Chains A and B, each alone.
Chain A
Amino acid sequence: DAGITQSPRHKVTETGTPVTLRCHQTENHRYMYWYRQDPGHGLRLIHYSYGVKDTDKGEVSDGYSVSRSKTEDFLLTLESATSSQTSVYFCAISESGASGRYEQYFGPGTRLTVT
């Protein structure tokens, strides 16, 4: 299995509080991604990073921010959590694609509940 960990694995928080989720990789992969997964919606991209300090928005970025100060860490922050952000969050990584392959490797997920 690719070396990807997410923390925390489970979190319950109250509406209006800030929350930070962490993704850590040991593969030295260039690309890192944050997805949310909800029943009926599949995987939806929140933000991604293509290098240290290089990030961009995905299709559902409103209410979320990210930071990547080191190759191995990618943080997702909910500045003020809302109930609509209750979801399972997955981090993923991928290589540079020099081999022509773009498969992603996913972490175990974080189940976030906003009450």
Chain B
Amino acid sequence: GESVGLHLPTLSVQEGDNSIINCAYSNSASDYFIWYKQESGKGPQFIIDIRSNMDKRQGQRVTVLLNKTVKHLSLQIAATQPGDSAVYFCAENIGGSYIPTFGRGTSLIVHP
């Protein structure tokens, strides 16, 4: 079947580089944001989240930055590895809603 990564913006990087994946979210009332990673043939997997009262949150090799002024979210991956190759989605939740809005995703390709 056709890959979920087709028709998506693509970011190609070399192994060891830092990657930055961007997401413009839609609703200024959104107060909770999540990044998901989806490898080929698998379901999306939670990576990291951030609340709207924060500007930055760090995890293991990943950092999420939130700019509420311009409704922009970014995911930074340090020392990108071939295993990071996947589609990355952002999602936003509004005020306790259990129904997130998903972005279209970005396909990250890491070249050895």
Judge: A and B partners, yes or no.
yes
Contact partners of B45 in chain A: CB under 8 A: 106
Range of interface residues on chain A?
20 to 34
Q: Are A103 and B34 in contact (CB under 8 A)?
A: yes
A43 to B98, CA, bound (A): 15
Q: Are A102 and B98 in contact (CB under 8 A)?
A: yes
> A90 with B44: in contact, given A39-B2, A102-B100 (CB under 8 Å)?
yes
Closest to A86 in B: B1
- Say whether chain A's binding surface is mostly helix, strand, loop, or mixed: strand
Report 5 cross-chain contacts, Cβ distance below 8 Å, ordered by A residue: A88-B4, A101-B32, A104-B91, A107-B43, A108-B42
A54 to B42, CA, bound (A): 28
Q: Chain B nearest CB: distance from A87 CB in Å?
A: 9
Q: Mark B73-112, 1 if CB is under 8 A from A, else 0.
A: 0000000000000000101010011111011110000000
Contact partners of B3 in chain A: CB under 8 A: 39
Closest to B96 in A: A97
Contact partners of B44 in chain A: CB under 8 A: 43, 90, 104, 106
Q: Mark B18-44, 1 if CB is under 8 A from A, else 0.
A: 000000000000001010000001111
A101 to B4, CA, bound (A): 27
A109 to B54, CA, bound (A): 33
Contact partners of B2 in chain A: CB under 8 A: 39
A43 to B101, CA, bound (A): 9
Contact partners of A85 in chain B: CB under 8 A: none
In this assembly, does A13 line the interface, its C-beta being within 8 Å of a C-beta of chain B?
no
Q: Are A31 and B98 in contact (CB under 8 A)?
A: yes
Q: Are B42 and A39 in contact (CB under 8 A)?
A: no
Contact partners of B49 in chain A: CB under 8 A: 101, 103
Contact partners of B34 in chain A: CB under 8 A: 102-104
Q: Chain B nearest CB: distance from A2 CB in Å?
A: 9
In this assembly, does A37 line the interface, its C-beta being within 8 Å of a C-beta of chain B?
yes
A101 to B100, CA, bound (A): 12
In this assembly, does A111 line the interface, its C-beta being within 8 Å of a C-beta of chain B?
yes
A98 to B84, CA, bound (A): 31
Q: Are A42 and B98 in contact (CB under 8 A)?
A: no
Specify which of B1, B42, B46, B103 is in contact with A103 (CB 8 Å cutoff).
B46
